[in-house]
Amino acid sequence: MALAAGLCLGANAESKVYSFNTLGEINGVADNGRYGVVTDPDFGMAYIWDSTNPETLKDITATTESAGNFTDQEEMWPTSAMDISDDGVVVGSIILGSTYHPAYYKEGKWYLLPLAPGALNSNEAVCITPDAKVIAGYQFINDPASDIKGRYYPCQWFLQDDGSYMLKAYTNIELPDQQGFFPMTQTPDGEVIAGTVYCGFQSNLNAMIKNGELIMFDKIETKMEPFMFGGKYFAGWEEKDGQPVQIWVEDINDPRVQYDPVVYINGYKDTEEFGNLIGFFTNCDDNGNLYGTRSRAINVTEDGEGEVVTEACIYNYKTDTWYLDDNYSFFSAGIGDGLVFTGNGKVMKDGVITSVAEAYGVESTRDIEGINKISADASVLGGVISEFNEAIADRMYYPFFVKTEGYSGIQEVVGTPDKGLVITSPGRIEVLNAEDVAVYDLDGRLIGTEKVTYVDPGIYVVKAGDAVYKLVVR
């Protein structure tokens, strides 16, 4: 079923906008800009947008006709579409009975992906590499030791020669005693999965899986402490007049005093009283930049009190460097730091901040929430608009796509093709057509000798063949 574009959105000379009255949010855009995927989670509907036929959405919700390797009594199943490859392979989940099952859609058919032993009722594929060779997602694995009797673990599925996908579940990683790890994105080569890990008292922290190992950026400690209120310590319960009554004592050495685990994150006491931390990565560009948000506790006292600051962040996993911006709550996507989409409908392009509406000519009577996903060169943007519905006392969300001239992120090109070219872009120096390559910082230290060198913002001296250049990288 094809759904026609509804809203009349304006566009500037450099872009063209396509919006739809179909409820849903954009979860993925192909790296090459050919496709996008939309999901309406309330009604369990999934759609594909094709840039060659941009004014319609194709309904790909799973039905008996599109069921590739499964059967059931239903004629249609609630479906999510979370990401799409360059050649149109969609990944997401299908609800069969009471179980969310990871699945992929290819050539008109949905196929279930393998589950790990002990997988329970909540599992999903969330992203796919541009070449469709690696799918990443999560599975809720049985764990009696957990408070919720299970824990979310990241996993990947790798394409085999016979066209099937083989599961690799990262159940051997050690996670804090909370819900687990939720992946949100992976690098274009499938080397890194990134997202968030839940820990402490409902906090979540930035995390990634690299080479099968969990990498976190915060120190987590658990201490056993007594609960104190009004200068007294909780010491259990006693029966009085047939009713249970709490016992409170002043002596901490009283053997009845009860101790509970308290989590400290970088020395900050993570409790409901003090406030929680939030951190996640939601997108990744081709240069290794992960976009999202990160909370930090500052002015932390010996007792673990402190002030929580939440900032938009870019983390480059190749250079192990952070960019934090307290002007925004999170960054949703970007290309280096030259083009960055924020969490409040803004965009920063080459240091200039403006609204998505102004930058790309998006006009709507509804509220423009911002851009969720972009293609590798930002030639296609996937965004969300919303409006408040008084009948249901809630907001309703609608997708829109923008076709633009793209953004290369290239800051400077020097040299000649026959004697060597040096190309700088955010966090990156690339040398073409030169056998002898050397990159130095201003202190004279050798930074790299390969074709591509990942660097922090700064000034560098680059030797390409017989030529030497001084270049600025933002």
Indicate if the pLDDT at residue 186 is higher than 50. yes
Please give the pLDDT value at position 241.
Answer: 87
Please give the pLDDT value at position 418.
Answer: 82
Task: Please give the residue that has the higher pLDDT: either 457 or 123.
Answer: 123
Q: Cα–Cα distance between 213 and 139 in angstroms, integer?
A: 17
pLDDT 10s digits, 383-414: 999 999 888 889 999 999 999 988 877 778 88
Please give the pLDDT value at position 11.
Answer: 42
Residue 360, SS3? helix
Alpha helices in 324-471 (DSSP H): 356-360
Residue 438, SS3? strand
Please give the pLDDT value at position 10.
Answer: 41
Hey, do 2-211+333-403 and 412-473 end up sharing a CATH topology, with the first three levels equal? no
Q: Cα–Cα distance between 173 and 307 in angstroms, integer?
A: 31
Strand partners, 59: 47
Running DSSP on this structure, what letter comes out for residue 34? S
pLDDT 10s digits, 6-33: 333 444 447 899 999 999 999 999 999 9
Q: Could you tell me what percent of the chain has a pLDDT over 90?
A: 67
The answer to which of 1-5, 21-25, 318-322, 376-380 has the lowest mean pLDDT is: 1-5
Indicate if the pLDDT at residue 122 is higher than 70. yes
- C-beta separation of 182 from 193 below 8 A: no
Task: Please give the residue that has the higher pLDDT: either 321 or 34.
Answer: 34
Q: Taking residues 261-276, report their average pLDDT.
A: 84
Residue 357, SS3? helix
Task: Please give the residue that has the higher pLDDT: either 210 or 144.
Answer: 210
Please give the pLDDT value at position 5.
Answer: 38
pLDDT 10s digits, 316-373: 998 888 999 999 999 999 998 889 999 789 999 877 899 999 999 888 888 899 999 9
Residue 144, SS3? coil
412-473 under CATH 2.60.40, yes or no: yes
Q: Cα–Cα distance between 128 and 158 in angstroms, integer?
A: 10
Confidence label for 425 from pLDDT (cuts 50, 70 and 90): confident
Indicate if the pLDDT at residue 428 is higher than 90. no
Task: Please give the residue that has the higher pLDDT: either 450 or 418.
Answer: 450
Please give the pLDDT value at position 351.
Answer: 79
End-to-end CA distance of the chain: 46
All residues at 6 or more sequence positions from 321 whose CB lies less than 8 Å from its CB, including other chains: 315, 427, 456
* Whole-angstrom Cα Rg for the chain: 25
Please give the pLDDT value at position 377.
Answer: 92
Please give the pLDDT value at position 168.
Answer: 96
Q: Taking residues 160-174, report their average pLDDT.
A: 94
CATH architecture under which domain 2-211+333-403 falls: 7 Propeller (2.130)
Segments making up each domain of the chain, as ranges? 2-211+333-403, 224-265, 412-473
Q: Taking residues 186-215, report their average pLDDT.
A: 92
